[in-house]
Chains A and B, each alone.
Chain A
């Protein structure tokens, strides 16, 4: 008796050809939030993403949040680093300027830390969205 799972026809999506834009948009979008949309002429979406993600990250810094560096220690530190890394250019600039040292004395500084991590994670979503626009999966 034929297995029902093998009998089912698998629907395989055709492979998307790698265009220049499908590579460029996510890369630029990671470096500068919203830029992946801007180079594809989604002006309002790009500007709103830049404003939202940029403001979250900058507010996090101004709230004296802590920025995570590459580490191999505690799992939460590693996850914090991955989140921060999503902010791309803003994260690199902050590290280069030796910012984001964090202030243990303020409870609100912990909110700042979370703001920056979430800004990075939201930018990952924005990068995926820019890629979907580039391959024509989304308008």
Chain B
């Protein structure tokens, strides 16, 4: 059995799981864990979209 993810879905899954682990391990309280996990997730995906658009502009 194999899984074929698109580039974006692979990055999405990566960001999701990495953010969960970062949130749990880098903060002390539950509230801070959720907030930091969400922050990491947004940064991962935001960076991905920014890099994508930057590459599109460079290519033009």
Contacts and interface: CB of A to CB of B under 8 A. Distances in A.
Contact of A115 (B1, B14, B21): B14
B35 to A, nearest CB: 15
A118 B28 CA distance: 23
B10 interface: yes
Given A55-B17, A118-B14, A108 B5 contact: yes
A48 B1 contact: no
Nearest to B37: A48
Given A111-B10, A115-B14, A49 B5 contact: no
A126 to B, nearest CB: 6
16 contacts: A48-B24, A49-B24, A51-B20, A52-B17, A52-B21, A56-B17, A59-B13, A63-B4, A63-B10, A111-B10, A115-B10, A122-B17, A125-B21, A125-B22, A126-B24, A139-B29
Interface of B: 1-5, 7, 10, 13-14, 16-18, 20-22, 24-25, 28-29
